[in-house]
Amino acid sequence: MKGAELTLYDVLAEELSRDAGVVTRRRPSLRQLTRFGIGGEAALLVDVSTEGSLVAVLERIHEYGAPHTVIGGGTNLVVADAGFDGVVVRYCGGALTGIDGGVRAEAGAELQSLVDYTIDHGLAGMHTMTRIPGWVGAAIYGNAGAYGHSIHEFVREVRYFDGAEIRTLDKQGCGFGYRGSIFKREKSWIILSVDLQLPRGDPATLRAEAEKIRAIRDEKYPPTMRCAGSIFKNLLMADLPEEIAARVPGQVVREGKVASAWFLEQTGVKGMRRGDIQVAHYHANLVYNDGAGMAEDLRAVIEEMKARVRMEFGLVLEEEVQFIGF
């Protein structure tokens, strides 16, 4: 390629790939990086395996003024059909290391790998998160959890890059809430690793409990289903207006939360379809790509679901999924 034909992203790709901890790819299909299997291309994909390389990559991107975004495993990601005209960065460091009373997990580790590690080492608590897809960094970002536990319960400290330097926050500083954290608000902060402190447990007992949860989740969200799990966050009973709370059957309230699926079901969204985007017939908060689904159709279905709940209950559902390129 002649020098005059080089684009910003060609130059960036060439420069960044000189670092042994960096792998670049021009014009990657982002649909292949998301569980929905939806979306267009990025101008450049940069996979980074070390903290030092990540800092250097982000500094270089800022020097060039290139638009960019940082993603994890793509589980909760909806990418526009037109893609993202910029740099997509993934921190792929995935080491799991035993520490006193727990484990240190790099942000690029598969969450299931962390779950398996804790079970094998007789550490309890994370076993309830078996079969939750995605990477550890995203689990911290969204305070992932299931079956009575959320990951924040076990956090000792989180290491992150704030755009200027690498820092650490203790559990309190992370500002965890239901499916949220300070990192969801400070989107320029990049999670690097987390230290988890976990109680002891019997590996055989933990593994047996995890297998039961795995069977339940696989029935609800088959591993081959192209979906993000639940689309919307559940609602806190204490936050509901009195007149709405009075309409909620007691049996659907669990741990102070009401499943968004209950509100959605009352509006008749089950089975709703647009193109190849389908709301499951058996679960009102499950939307999946049933073929060659388009992001435009997925966004329209999500908006229709929100509109129906808003009209019926006056409530605004909040998505768990994140959007890129819209």
Cα 257–chain centre separation: 20
Of 29, 56, 91, which residue is a domain's last?
Answer: 91
Domain assignment present for 212: no
Of 170, 204, 238, which residue is a domain's last?
Answer: 204
List the one residue out of 209, 232, 34 whose CA is nearest residue 131.
209
The catalytically annotated residue of 179, 207, 214, 226 is: 179
The catalytically annotated residue of 51, 230, 299, 308 is: 230
Domain assignment present for 215: no
CA distance 112 to 100: 21
Domain assignment present for 17: yes
Same domain, 76 and 113: no
Domain assignment present for 213: no
Looking at residue 323, its pLDDT comes to 94
Which residues have CB under 8 Å from 194's CB, separation 6+? Answer: 104, 105, 107, 136, 140, 155, 156, 157, 158, 159
CA distance 297 to 308: 17
Q: Please, what's the b/e burial string for 315-324 (b: 16 or more CB within 10 A of its CB; e: otherwise)? A: bebebbbbeb
226 is catalytic: no
Q: Evaluate the CA torsion angle 170, 174, 177, 181 in order and state its sign.
A: negative
pLDDT per residue as tens, the chain (326 positions)? 444 467 999 999 999 999 999 999 999 999 999 999 999 999 999 999 999 999 999 999 999 999 999 999 999 999 999 999 999 999 999 999 999 989 999 999 999 999 999 999 999 999 999 999 999 999 999 999 988 789 999 999 999 999 999 999 999 999 999 889 999 999 999 999 999 999 999 999 999 999 999 999 999 888 899 999 899 999 999 999 999 999 999 999 988 999 999 999 999 999 999 999 999 999 999 999 999 999 999 999 999 999 999 999 999 999 999 999 99
Bridge partners of 160? 167, 191
Domain that holds residue 226: 222-324
Which residues have CB under 8 Å from 79's CB, separation 6+? Answer: 30, 31, 34, 36, 38, 39, 40, 295, 324, 325
Same domain, 133 and 38: no
> Any idea what the CATH number is for the domain that residue 188 is in?
3.30.465.10
Domain assignment present for 264: yes
Same domain, 79 and 113: no
Same domain, 184 and 238: no
320 is catalytic: yes
Looking at residue 223, its pLDDT comes to 87
> Any idea what the CATH number is for the domain that residue 248 is in?
3.90.78.10
> Any idea what the CATH number is for the domain that residue 75 is in?
3.30.43.10
Using a 10 angstrom Cβ sphere, with 0-12 exposed, 13-18 middle and 19 or more buried, the burial of residue 52 is exposed
CA distance 272 to 268: 8
Looking at residue 273, its pLDDT comes to 97
Same domain, 111 and 82: no
Same domain, 240 and 262: yes
Domain assignment present for 210: no
CA distance 184 to 175: 10
Same domain, 199 and 103: yes
- Cα torsion for 146, 227, 54, 103, to the nearest 10°? 20
Q: What is the DSSP secondary structure assignment for residue 239, as one 8-state letter?
A: G
CA distance 42 to 30: 7
Same domain, 66 and 157: no
The catalytically annotated residue of 41, 51, 106, 320 is: 320
Looking at residue 1, its pLDDT comes to 43
Same domain, 100 and 190: yes
296 is catalytic: no
Domain assignment present for 158: yes
Same domain, 62 and 137: no
- Count of domains forming the chain: 3
Domain assignment present for 209: no
CA atoms within 13 Å, Cβ hemisphere of 24: 21
